[in-house]
Amino acid sequence: MPETTVLLCRCATHTCLDQADVCALHQALEPLDDIDLRVVDDLCGLAEKKRLEKTGIGKHDHVVACFPRAVRWLLNDSSENSDQQHTQFHNLRENSADEILLKLKLPLPASTGIPPGSDTGDDRPPEWPPWYPVIDYDRCTHCGQCLSFCLFNVFDKDEQNDVVVAAPRNCKDNCPACARICPEVAIMFPKTDSAPINGDEIQDELLEREKALIALQQSSGANLHAFLSNRNRNAGKGLLKPEARKRIFGDR
């Protein structure tokens, strides 16, 4: 009976992780009798499908993926029974396979080969590249600025009036614009390179908040009100919903 469970994400759709490191970890962990290894093609895609409980990967002793803050909230949002109290997260974007194996106190692999496939039947090319925002609810104040800003109706509010990612597949691939204008730096895109939007720890609160304000202003040039009004008309959708526009601009 395996004593330790390990979830390994390949991030195969956007290749954010070094596939040689993924392969090395697979080769090192697969033969061990006391390790229950699960390899998934893309954790973001699996989470979006709400399949974590169905495939039995909701709880693990170790999760090897990208930045821990992003992965924690990705799992939390995708599984009502996700218990992360005793889970250790390992960042394969900043640590090599050898470094992670040392943290796990496991031997290094003798050689590397072809990157492995997943254990969940998700190796076929996805019909949709899993790119969408993940909300850090320790930071989010549910102000709704992301909901008002997004043209693609990715966000909504639930029965408790909390902001949620309601339509992940509406998100435009490689577009983290909503994260850049979040005043609380609460929106993450695990696959982007930009920190702390990628889930990296926030080093300077004041700087990041200032950057969010500047990003919102720069998205409009000198006249934010004129820009949003014009974009709203041209898009045929509400960039700012009426109640949000009134809150920001008053009766202008």
In sequence order, the β-bridge partners of residue 165 are 155
Q: Is residue 56 part of a domain?
A: yes
Instruction: Compute how many other C-beta atoms are within 10 angstroms of the C-beta atom of residue 114.
Output: 8
Pair of tokens at residue 152? 């693609």
User: Over 90: is that where the pLDDT of 199 sits?
Assistant: yes
R_g of the chain computed on alpha carbons: 20
Domain boundary, last residue among 49, 82, 103: 103
Place of tokens 């759709």: 13
For the chain, give the longest Cα–Cα distance.
69
Q: Quick one: which of 110, 123, 118 has its CA closest to 27? A: 110
The torsion of the CA quartet 72, 116, 38, 4, rounded to 10 degrees, works out to -100
Same domain, 95 and 195: no
Q: Is residue 114 part of a domain?
A: no
> Which pLDDT tens digit goes with each residue over 59-101?
788 999 999 999 999 988 776 556 677 889 999 999 999 999 9
Same domain, 138 and 241: yes
What pLDDT, on a 0 to 100 scale, did the predictor assign at position 110? 62
What pLDDT, on a 0 to 100 scale, did the predictor assign at position 6? 93
User: Over 70: is that where the pLDDT of 208 sits?
Assistant: yes
Question: How many domains are contained in the chain?
Answer: 2
Same domain, 191 and 237: yes
Same domain, 98 and 143: no
User: How many whole angstroms separate alpha carbon 243 and alpha carbon 62?
Assistant: 44
Q: How many DSSP H helices and E strands does the chain contain?
A: 9, 8
Q: Is residue 175 part of a domain?
A: yes
What pLDDT, on a 0 to 100 scale, did the predictor assign at position 121? 47
Backbone angles phi, psi at 163, to 5 degrees: -70, 135
Q: Is residue 48 part of a domain?
A: yes
Same domain, 32 and 138: no
Same domain, 154 and 242: yes
The DSSP symbol for 97 reads H
pTM score of the predicted model: 0.78
Instruction: Compute how many other C-beta atoms are within 10 angstroms of the C-beta atom of residue 96.
Output: 14
Same domain, 67 and 146: no
Containing H/E element for 7? Answer: strand 4-9
User: How many whole angstroms separate alpha carbon 31 and alpha carbon 82?
Assistant: 27
Same domain, 99 and 138: no
Cis peptide before 107 (omega within 30 of 0): no
Same domain, 94 and 182: no
Same domain, 17 and 76: yes
Same domain, 146 and 238: yes
More confident residue, 116 or 193: 193
User: Over 80: is that where the pLDDT of 200 sits?
Assistant: yes
User: Over 90: is that where the pLDDT of 46 sits?
Assistant: no
User: Over 80: is that where the pLDDT of 122 sits?
Assistant: no
Confidence of residue 8 (pLDDT cuts 50, 70, 90): very high
User: Over 60: is that where the pLDDT of 153 sits?
Assistant: yes
Q: Is residue 216 part of a domain?
A: yes
Q: Is residue 194 part of a domain?
A: yes
Confidence of residue 14 (pLDDT cuts 50, 70, 90): confident
User: How many whole angstroms separate alpha carbon 176 and alpha carbon 50?
Assistant: 22
Q: What is the mean pLDDT of residues 124-147?
A: 89
What pLDDT, on a 0 to 100 scale, did the predictor assign at position 80? 55
Q: Is residue 116 part of a domain?
A: no
Q: Is residue 138 part of a domain?
A: yes
User: Which of 1-10, 125-134, 235-244 bottoms out in mean pLDDT, i.e. has the lowest?
Assistant: 235-244
What pLDDT, on a 0 to 100 scale, did the predictor assign at position 57? 57
Which residue range is the domain that position 172 belongs to? 134-249
Same domain, 153 and 238: yes
